Structure 1
Amino acid sequence: MKRWWKIILLLVLSLTLGACQHGRAQVTTKEQPLIIGVDDSFVPMGFQTKAGQLTGFDVDAAKAAGKLMHRKIKFQTIDWSMKETELKNGTIDLIWNGYTKTPARVQQVNFSRAYLKNEQVMVVAKRNKITQIQQLRNRVVGVQSASTGYFDVTEKPQLLKNFIKNKTPVQYDNIQDGMMDLRSNRIEGFVIDRVFAEYYLEKAKLTDQYQVLETPFAREDFAVGVSKKRPELLKQVNQVLKQLKDTGKLKQISKKWFGEDITE
């Protein structure tokens, strides 16, 4: 009889400890910060100031979302070409840094509702007297590796790639390196997001030397990337994005960075 009581007691204790551990795990998960992967050179979405502080539209939006979710936000600078791998491996929780929803990316990542409008443009130097992209025939054009601009150029070759020099764009690990080569005349055109191009040229006081040309690439939407293994997190992100939109917070952040409301 004593033996049976011992077995029952052990079962009760194991169930109690299991429940306690489960509860503790839940608390720990909630208290852990959400790690957001960023390219810290993407002005004005997420970038480092001269003082080393991370700032930008997406930084402000993510922090506002964190408050609504009661979660701390931690930004992790990553190799942008490895962003989907980092998300899949669990190194980061979200991709939130001017991340465009595309058919190819949808195969790897779940996307939140769209929150910002964007498009790819071509930045050129006025000294070269280029006023339309057709004039870039046999000229050197650059683009950031693994960016939406890169995929637009390579997956729709008839629109640009087939007539630029070597029929291949020069690839850059980050936006700043591409802009440096454009300013040094090592490339004659740089494909980049409109949100970056207009903000950068204005803040750097370069609008008298460089101009933004329209491209034939389709308009795009920025959204937050979430692992396909985490549908509950996707649901939470969608809820807070809607709240930020409905309360006017996204509009406020947009006007701060762009001078107008370009949110979805």
Structure 2
Amino acid sequence: MTGTTSDVRVDTDARVMVISIDRPAQRNAMTKAAAERISEALVELDERSDLAVGILTGTGGSFCAGMDLKRFAAGELARVPGRGFGGLTQAPPKKPLIAAVEGWALGGGFELVLACDLVVAGHGARFGLPEAKRGLIAAGGGALRLPRRLPRAVALQALLTGEPISAATAHHHGLVNQLVEDGQALDAARDLARKIAGNAPLAVAAAKRIVVESEDWPSDELFRRQEPITEPVLASADAREGAKAFAERRTPLWTGR
């Protein structure tokens, strides 16, 4: 189902899916149509065995300026039932998703970033949750996820003042994985995605699942709860192939089994 709509472009290459919000004249403000297309693309990402990693980005030098306020005022909600704002915030994919950020990631746009697993950003990128300035609240995951990705005081300042966070500050606190020259975020995200895509798919999926699910596990049950996730990986054909390839000094041939 890859292809183009008026609001979103979806391309696949070398086991990587790139989802590009394509409304540059509106700084990629989110529409219902764009949210639905992103949701469809994420379902495709998870279902296709030939795809390993997704990248979410925006065209024209901006990531996403949040919801289209004109359309919101007219009654349109840029969300998908069960998946949330942008077709992502309530139900991220099982496979890794990288945000490639240039320019502004505001409001719901920042919430899209927070729903991704990894973030690559240009030096000029800015992240903000200005909802309080407009009588709104960051209900698409911003108030929930930001304190888990930044120190509490930093997250509260961003939420309560509505002032943006620079890419350098986000990188300093670990929200941004890689800080690159402006205009290079997508290329750097592709490089990162290829490194992930070269690894065993069962191992990658299990690692993400443990990180996501273990957030609310009791400390005395951590190892017991991870066993049903780790044991199939350790017993897999890919685990045997990885050891064999290492011994034979060759690139592994993963089968996902």
Pairwise TM-score range, normalised by the shorter structure: under 0.3
Instruction: Tell me which of the two structures has the higher relative contact order, counting C-alpha pairs closer than 8 angstroms and 6 or more residues apart.
Output: 1
Q: Output the TM-score relative to the length of structure 2.
A: 0.25
Computing the radius of gyration from Cα coordinates, the structure with the larger value is 1
